[in-house]
A and B are shown apart, each in its own frame.
Chain A
């Protein structure tokens, strides 16, 4: 009897959180990244399998794309879980999971595109001359400055907006895809310097990935009075100082 009651409570809790399958996928992405990081570290490559993500050859480009997609799933999808939940709760039951999957795929597409462009940009910068230290400090300074702009704050707020979803059919599918792309666009505006930072550091570094993900998620969930972006700005400023001093 007690077991049935507990099972019902779990079922009700999961019903209120229809995004839980996406949470599972994100968790699996993190596990995969940790495994890859540990295995590459044991081989002596501390920046991991995706170090600098240099897409010089087709194979390397494919690996970089895969690595970046995995990283986007782990880092950026957690920031959009409220939107995934919105899609789930506002879709009819029989198309709920399809709608959420469509949303997440549409959300990831712009991030992967951005990642490829970021990797190409970093490669071009490296070939242009600045050393790793200069590249890191420069990217951190850009990230801190971006945190202070009104565009940053506006895009953080815009990430919380929703769009109307028709009940069924192709209109509903289009609306889910449009919502995903629009949300990703807002989040790219909000977080592009942070992901550029990952392109510089190398997207195999799970410790920095975890720290940045935590910072972004806290920023997205913060409703405190005053600046929404202050905590992450402070952390990035501290990282900049550390990078300069350690150079």
Chain B
């Protein structure tokens, strides 16, 4: 097993005595794109990229731990990422933790900052923070050498690589933060559905859906072959893009912030979640194992914190959301409306009517449905596609797509991003998920607001799917043409949706 020239005793002491601080990459580059931390990350990436894939501390090996097109060699820890289940957050925390240790060892070996910690990209902020950080767009490092943080085209979506903004509908974690349960159902829950470890499954939590999956697809753009197109959009290539790690650092930060909101928010206490081990490599290449119970407190157990103190303010979550009144346990949500035929999306906007049978109409017209006394869930079911279309579809309730002036924020209930659908389709994976995604959105608040605005008519329920497009940055409106070309009707590979349904909890 290849090892690095790294003093294990020194490393152990360092990790006992130091609490590392993960910082916002946009704060680091406030004055200069090349802050010492960011530059050290770039140099460490170059160092790791120079190592052979047989070295567990190499860039290629670390990316393959997430997923790769290559079958897992004997003894290797490849193709192991956990998506679409309650292990999503814990597995990725462990993955990042050991990756950060490997990067830190590389940083130290080249004389970089001793307090190096992986930065995070908080894209849920106004311009310019909602654009790809500048160091990931520079062609060269300060010394003139090639910048490993920048990818040659088409490694990333063209608009994003050129500085386009990610829209709030794509970056907001508000819906996930409003969840008070980690595990679904009836809602998706914050962290995903309870089930045994599966590479890709269909029970993604709200945070995994948005912003996690959405950012993967919007930054990656269109996939092509085996990592010949956008990297972030395909799980088998995603971790080859250096921005992947800053994206996941942000997702990990949001997990801490969700817990800090209180109001009943807590990690699962089931042994199946707490005791589930996952395997990685540390900075010496040695195989190491962590369980969920060993990573629930990042500061105490893993010795790192984030530079922002968690609080309910600024998260877009009202205190009403943060302190829910516990409801009596009740039966499963009841279906009250659904589409009659499947629908196909090919890049443009598409609206579908929901039929409300007469026997369930009273459930929708009652005050309970519009005042929040009963929860309402919109399901988008049996979502299938041969490949990821590289397009994120926003889902809107009772909005006319032909009305350019429609208040999209008011009607927006969530997004559909098909990160990983290729792996769910593959019937020959060692531990497969079932083809077909199901996305569940809690639409209680949206229905209440539409009702207050006189825009809630159970006789005319429609759901609209519309691509979420990047926004050209100020002064670069010429990017509009680039964006429009990518999101024209018929420009994207088809996505089939079996049914859209509305449930009352």
Contacts and interface: CB of A to CB of B under 8 A. Distances in A.
A160 interface: yes
Contact of B357 (A16, A158, A168, A223): A168
Nearest to A155: B427
B197 interface: yes
Contacts of B431: 223-226
Interface string B57-72: 0000000000000000
A167 interface: yes
A120 interface: no
A91 B332 CA distance: 12
Contacts of A16: 331-332
Contact of B427 (A153, A165, A168): A153
A168 B336 CA distance: 10
Interface residues of B, number: 35
B329 A168 contact: no
B494 to A, nearest CB: 16
Contact of B340 (A91, A167, A224, A225): A167
A92 interface: yes
B501 A161 contact: no
Contacts of A15: 330-332
A11 B499 CA distance: 29
Nearest to B342: A164
A7 B450 CA distance: 38
SS of A interface (majority)? loop
Contact of A157 (B196, B330, B342, B434): B434
- Among the interface residues A150, A158, A164, A224, which one has the most CB atoms of the partner chain B within 10 A? A164
Interface residues of A, number: 32
Interface string B318-350: 000000000001111011111111100000000
A7 to B, nearest CB: 13
Contacts of A18: 332
B257 interface: no
A167 B382 contact: no
A163 B355 contact: no
Contacts of B30: none
Nearest to A226: B430
Contacts of A9: 329
A126 interface: no
B470 interface: no
Interface of B: 195-198, 329-332, 334-342, 355-357, 359-360, 381-382, 427-428, 430-432, 434-436, 498-499, 501
Given A161-B434, A166-B339, A167-B356, 20 more contacts: A15-B330, A89-B332, A90-B501, A92-B336, A92-B357, A93-B359, A150-B428, A154-B428, A157-B432, A161-B436, A162-B381, A163-B382, A164-B339, A164-B498, A164-B499, A166-B340, A167-B337, A167-B501, A223-B198, A227-B430
18 contacts: A16-B331, A92-B359, A93-B359, A94-B357, A154-B427, A158-B427, A161-B436, A162-B436, A164-B339, A164-B382, A165-B499, A166-B340, A167-B338, A167-B340, A168-B357, A168-B359, A171-B340, A225-B197
